[in-house]
Structures are given as C-alpha cells and as structure tokens.
C-alpha cells in the first residue's frame, strides 16, 4: 500500500505558546501547505484516510489537505504526536482493512519522527539522515505483512521547493 | 556538498539495438527529461559539473540538462556505466577541488546503481529499496570527508511525475 508521511507546515515559533501543542500554522505555512496540497491534487492523488498527530499544527495541515479534496476522512492518531512509537502505528496498520485495492494512506506528523519511521520501514534501523522539511512528503510502498520494517520501498522524498 | 544522482530518460526498448550502450532516448524521453531540466532551472539549480555515464541514453540526458542552462560542463565518467563501482567515484570525489563554496555536482547514470549508491552513501549498506524512475532525481548532502559512506543525508527523491 502507498503510505505518505507528511510533515506539518510552518508554524508559530517554538516558545511563543505556553503549550507547544497549540502552536498553529502561520500564514506562510498555510499558503505553502495549500500549494503542496493543490499540486498533489493536480496529479490525481487521493487518500482514503489521513491520520494526523493531535497537535494543532499537524491537524491544521491535514485540514488543508482535506479542503482541497485530497481526502474525505481525517482521524486523530495519538501516536503521531512527537516522540511517537512506530509500533503503535504498525499495530493499527496490521488491523486496517483496505477500503479498495488501490488504497492510499497519509500520516501527518513531526520531525525527526517521520524521517525515523521512514528509515525503520525501509532499512529497519535509524540513522537520522533523512531530511523532511515542513510541508514535505515521503512516499513509501509498505507491504501488508505482519512486520513491514526493513521491507518497504522509498519512492518519494520532497520538500515544497521541488514540488510547487 | 550537494550531489544529485539523475537517471537517464526513457530510451528505446532493450533489445532494439545490437549494442545496448547505443540505445538513444526516444521522443517521450527527451520531452520529459527537458521538462524536468526546465523545472530544476526554474528553481535556480545550477551544477558546477555533470559527470555522465558514457552510454548514449545517459549522455543525451546530460546534454539536455546542459542545453537548458543547468551546467556549463559535462564530463564522461566511465565508472557511471551499468554495474558501476562507487569506490571509483569516491576516489575521484576525494580529489575533486570545489570550484566554489556552494558547489553542486550531478551524476547521470543507471538503475539499480543510482539507488544502490544512495543507500551506500546514506546507510552504508544496500537493500535495493530505493525506486529511481527514468529522469528521476536523488539529492544528497555528501560530506567532504575521506569516507562519506553511511554519513550522507538524503533530502530529495523524485520522479518526473511529482516534479513537472
């Protein structure tokens, strides 16, 4: 199954909100995220489901994707919050029934987790050597097997700069 | 230093030429490669040097990049031919004097070698799990140290579909 890992757009600076979870996207972040979403829609990408980190900046990113028609369904997934555990998602994935044979999933979250999940899925180990910029995207072919760690293919890694 | 690995564009089918090295780009391949090159130029990318595999389809790809102004200099590098040995390139790289502090290199070659070189540079091992499509691009930050294997960062992997 194609699984896309999407980093939230540019948000208010760290430290500007008492609760870091509440930092929202700033205008530049909303604009760039919308441009990324529109480009993906223009090449006919559509997600059956977007799972998002519960943090505001991630949820807002997912909502922008929904507004341009990239998905009909967003669900909050607690284990996409920072320092997230890929095993929680793998457990969810093993039980996820694909709604169609061409099913595509998107996960909206944070760095360095998304880069680390990518490395875990493709190589089975983490070296923190994947750069995922804000509103950047990773594309993976994740096989529907009990343990896809080290068994997935990487076909896309891009920042807004190259996409829009 | 930023190092870009570029796969040649769509070429004549395997078996249509007695000598496989002579298969040229077909029209669709030339058009897509030019679109990719123009997009890269539009975002102000410029290579100080393109090293290309000696095979016709790779050399033609490099020439299209040169024609749109992505570089002033192309050199044939024998060890970018299929089944190429990354150590030959590493030897060259260790002796390469950067013409400027923001120097960017491009290497035009073949699959699965380019994907394998990427894995060697970033993770130090090869699992053949990186998909590089024709006229697709890999972007790496390769440190200028004696042995950058397992020490480089991956910041871009894209096929023409996402770029143009």
Under an 8 A CB cutoff, do B127 and A131 touch?
no
From the number of C-beta atoms within 10 Å of its C-beta (0-12, 13-18, 19+), residue A134 rates as buried
Q: Are B110 and B8 in contact (CB under 8 A)?
A: yes
pLDDT for res B141: 97
**Cβ of B66 under 8 Å from any chain A Cβ?**
no
C-alpha to C-alpha distance for B131 and B158, rounded to whole angstroms:
9
CATH of the domain at A136: 3.40.50.1240
| Residue B58: domain span | 2-162
Contact B137, B32 (CB under 8 A): no
Question: What does the pLDDT read at residue B99?
Answer: 86
Nearest CA to CA, how far is B158 from chain A (Å)?
A: 5
- Write the ipTM: 0.96
Q: pLDDT of chain A along its 164 residues, tens only? A: 999 999 999 999 998 898 989 999 999 999 999 999 999 999 999 999 999 999 999 999 999 999 999 999 999 999 999 998 999 999 999 999 988 889 999 999 999 999 999 999 999 999 999 999 999 999 999 999 989 999 999 999 999 999 99
CA B13 to chain A, closest CA, distance in angstroms equals 23
Cβ pairs bridging A and B (under 8 Å): 66
How many CA within 13 A on the CB side of residue A145?
Answer: 10
Interface-testing mutation among B112, B162, B163, B164, with chain A (most A C-beta atoms within 10 A): B162
Q: How is A120-152 classified by DSSP, letter by letter?
A: HHHHSS----B---TT-EEEEE--SSS--TTT-
Q: Are B11 and B17 in contact (CB under 8 A)?
A: no
Chain B residue with CA closest to A130: the answer is B154
Contact A162 B159 (CB under 8 A): no
Q: What is the pLDDT of residues B84-127, one digit of tens each?
A: 899 999 999 999 998 888 999 999 999 999 999 999 999 999 99
Domain count, chain A: 1
- The reported pLDDT for the residue numbered A162 is 96
At B84 the pLDDT is: 87
Per-residue pLDDT of chain B (164 residues; tens, 9 = 90+): 999 999 999 999 998 898 989 999 999 999 999 999 999 999 999 999 999 999 999 999 999 999 999 999 999 999 999 998 999 999 999 999 988 889 999 999 999 999 999 999 999 999 999 999 999 999 999 999 989 999 999 999 999 999 99
Question: Are B127 and A127 in contact (CB < 8 Å)?
Answer: no
Q: What is the DSSP letter of B97?
A: P
């Amino acid at each position: 199954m194609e699984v896309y890992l999407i980093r939230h757009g540019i948000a208010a600076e760290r430290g500007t909100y008492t609760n870091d979870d509440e930092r929202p996207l700033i205008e530049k972040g909303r604009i760039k995220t919308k441009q990324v979403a529109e480009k993906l829609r223009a090449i006919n990408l559509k997600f059956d489901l977007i799972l998002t980190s519960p943090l505001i900046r991630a949820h807002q990113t997912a909502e922008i994707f929904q507004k341009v028609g990239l998905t009909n369904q967003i669900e909050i997934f607690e284990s996409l919050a920072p320092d997230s555990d890929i095993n929680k998602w793998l457990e969810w994935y093993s039980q996820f029934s694909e709604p169609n044979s061409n099913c595509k999933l998107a996960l909206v979250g944070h760095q360095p987790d998304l880069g680390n999940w990518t490395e875990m899925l493709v190589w089975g180990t983490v070296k923190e050597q994947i750069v995922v910029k804000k509103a950047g995207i990773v594309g993976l072919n994740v096989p529907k097997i009990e343990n896809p760690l080290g068994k997935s293919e990487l076909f896309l890694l891009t920042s807004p700069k190259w996409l829009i």
